[in-house]
Amino acid sequence: MQREKKEKQQKKLNSNTETALKGKSILLGITGSVAAYKALDLIRRLKDEGASVKVIMTESACRFITPLSVELASGQSVYFDMFKSPLSHINLPVEADMLVVAPATANSISKYACGIADNLLSTAAIAFSGTPDRIIFAPAMNWRMYENHVFQKNLHALIQIGARFIGPEKGSLACGEEGTGRMAGIDRIIESIKTSLSKHDLAGEHVLVTAGPTREHIDPVRYISNRSSGKMGYAIAKIAKRRGAEVTLISGPVSLRPPDDVTVINVGTAAQMLSAVMDNIHMSSIFVMSAAVADFMPQETKRDKIEKKESFALQLIKTKDILGQVGRLKKRPFTTGFAAETGPGLDRAKKKLLDKNIDVIIFNNVTGVGAGFDVDTNEVVIIYRDGAGTIKEKPLPLMHKEDVAEAIFDTIKDLGYKQF
C-alpha cells in the first residue's frame, strides 16, 4: 500500500515537473584531460533533466575514455572525426541550444580564443552561432598551466565577450599536487547551463531572501527551533540568481550549500535575522521571507547549562514580527511571505496577508504528503492581491521546490511589482 502511494506520488510529481533543460539540445565537447571520465556522469545527469546530448570528442579525449562508453551514456552517435562525418562541424552546432566543453583543456580554450579551427570540436565551436553566454567551459588542467599569463590572457578575452566559465576548483590534482585546476563539480556545471538557458527577467533587481530556522537559546547547549531545512528558501535564492537578479540570502542554521554568486549572511536567532533584514531591505526591490522564524524565545537565556531535573518550567515571550515590521515601512520592496499550517488554513493565510500589509503570501500545508520540511518538493497555494485589491488564489500541484520558486517569481512579474 505504501509503495503504491509513493509510485502514485512520483507519477504526479513527474507530470508537474518542467525542468529548465527539458527538450533542450546540448552539444558537449570532451577534450583530452584525465577528468574526461566525469563527462559520463554529466551526460547522464543532463539526460535525466530531459535534455538531448550530442558529443564531440577530441582525439586526445579518446585516449582517456572510449567513444563507445560515451555513446552508451548519451544514447547517440559520438563524433570525433571531421572527415568521417562531413558537415557535422556545421550541422551539430546549428542544432544545439548550447555548447558545453567539459573538461576543457588549456589547449582547447586557447584555440577558441584565437579562432583556431583544426579539429572537429574547435571547428564546431567557431561555427556555433549562439550568443557567447551559450558557450560554457569547465576548465581542467594543472595549476601551473591555469596560472600561465598567456592562458589567463586567452581566458579573460573570452570572458570579456561573454563566454561562461565554471571553475576550476582548488584541490588535489591528478599529478599529485594541490592547486586550482580541478574540473568543477557536475552540480555546478548543470546549474551554470540552466542559468544560461533561463530567462533573465530579473536582471537589474536585488532580491532579498530569508531561509531556514532560527534558534532561540535556553542555555549554552539547548535551544528552541523548528524543523525547517531551508530547502525552499535556498531554491528561491537559486532561481532568483538563475533569472538574473543580484541576490542576498539571509540564512538560519542549515546544512545546505548556498548557490554560487549569492551573498550569504548567516544568522542564528530571530533578533539577528531581523537585524540582517532591516540592514538590507532598503537596497532590495523584491523581498521573499521564507524563513521559519521562531514565534517564541525564552524570557531568559541561562549563562550555564541547566541541571537535569524531574520538571522544568520555561517562560517564553514572543519574538519580533519581521514581516510585520517590513510591512509598516513607508517605502518597502515587493514583499512575499509564507504561511506554514498543519491543515486547511487558507483563511488564516489571507488574514496574514492583510494584517502584515504584504503583497503575496504562500500557503503551505506542511502535513501534506511530499510537502513541508526536509523534502525537495512542495504543494502550495499562492495568495495575492490584484491591481484592484481583490484577494486571489493560485493553487499549485505537487512539484519540486525550484519549480515552486519559478512560479512565485512568475506571479510577481505578472503582478507588475513595484516598490512601495
- Collapse the DSSP code of 248 into the 3-class scheme (helix H, G, I; strand E, B; otherwise coil) and give the result: strand
Number of Cα atoms under 13 Å in the Cβ half of residue 208: 25
Got the DSSP string for 193-207? Answer: HHHHHS--TTTT-EE
Are the C-beta atoms of residues 318 and 270 closer than 8 Å to each other? no
385 phi and psi angles, rounded to 5 deg:
-105, 130
175 is catalytic: yes
Instruction: Report whether the peptide linkage leading into residue 103 is cis, meaning its omega lies within 30 degrees of zero.
Output: yes
Q: Where are the beta strands (DSSP E) in 8-97?
A: 25-30, 52-57, 78-79
Selecting among 90, 175, 221, 278, the annotated active-site residue is 175
Please count the other Cβ atoms lying within 10 Å of the Cβ belonging to residue 109: 22
Q: Which residues contact 143 (CB under 8 A, 6 or more apart)?
A: 173, 177, 178, 179, 180, 181
Is 148 strand, coil or helix?
coil
102, 42 contact by CB (below 8 A) = yes
Supply the DSSP symbol for 294: -
SS3 419: coil
> How is residue 275 written as a grid cell?
537585524
Catalytic residues, by residue number, are: 175
